[in-house]
Amino acid sequence: MKYKIIVILIFLSLIIPITVFSITGEEIIRKADAIQAFDTSEAYGEIRVKDRFGVKVSTFKSWTRGKYESLLEFTSLAERGQKILRTEDELYLFYPDAEELIRMQGSMLRQSMLGSDISYEDMTGGKDRVSQYDIVLEGEEKVNGIDCYVLTMTARVRTVPYPKEKVWIDKETFIVWKAEYYTKSGRLLKEMETLRVEEIGGRMIAMESRISDKMKTDTETIMVINNIKINIPLSVDFSLDDLSW
């Protein structure tokens, strides 16, 4: 009997590591990136900025194509007609009242968008992180009762918004439920938490998220998608001409 127990324990010690590490960090990130990239999308939503003065709500309409092209147009009264265009390499702002077009670059990218906890730089992050980061699968944890992989990512290129990230990714759906963003030295800059997801077109999509800039006090931003359609024909072509119509 003792011999049989020893044999069983040896057998378990051999198969458990295979079970735990049956997926790599790179594979997890590829899957997480893939569910965030659509052939095309059209969405309506709102940005709620909470600070010590209260809550400000800005509404928007947005379009995306692939990983790197997006156009966001604000529809709320105070910001109506302001647009942000992202192509693979560039980010542009358009202000209709002044008919002014601004190419965002350098330190301008770190500015807050409409006073929120979201910077323009956050909009430049790619969806091909495997080629941009060294990825380590640290283990598993629960987030709000959901089993998640925990990964740390250290940038190997300078073109990403944050040198270090820590993410909690759903083991089943590969939704990112939580993320922390750090400086190279390890100082926490921002936190993100997914609050609500929905199944749209056969895939899970984050519909509501909370972002907190740790360099500010008493502030948070809630990003809400009220309606989204994916993989549909679009009326925009993601060029500078789209900013003036």
pLDDT digits (tens, 9 = 90+) for 14-48: 444 444 558 999 999 999 998 888 899 999 999 99
pLDDT digits (tens, 9 = 90+) for 180-237: 999 999 999 999 999 999 999 888 999 999 999 999 988 999 999 999 999 999 999 9
Q: Answer yes or no: are the C-beta atoms of 240 and 90 closer than 8 Å.
A: no
| Domain presence at residue 11 | no
- Count the domains in the chain: 1
Q: Answer yes or no: are the C-beta atoms of 94 and 100 closer than 8 Å.
A: yes
CA 128 – CA 30 distance, rounded (Å) = 7
| Domain presence at residue 10 | no
| Domain presence at residue 79 | yes
Q: How far apart are the first and last CA of the chain?
A: 81
| Domain presence at residue 4 | no
pLDDT digits (tens, 9 = 90+) for 131-164: 899 999 999 999 999 999 999 999 998 888 899 9
β-bridge pairing 91-95 and 100-103: antiparallel
DSSP 160: S
3-state DSSP assignment of residue 2:
helix
pTM attached to this predicted model = 0.87
Q: Answer yes or no: are the C-beta atoms of 105 and 86 closer than 8 Å.
A: no
Structural domain that includes position 121: 24-243
3-state DSSP assignment of residue 240:
helix
| Domain presence at residue 7 | no
CATH number at residue 65: 2.50.20.10
| Domain presence at residue 201 | yes
| Domain presence at residue 18 | no
Q: Transcribe 94-134 into DSSP letters.
A: EETTTTEEEE--GGGGGSBSTTSS-BGGGGG--S-GGGTEE
| Domain presence at residue 202 | yes
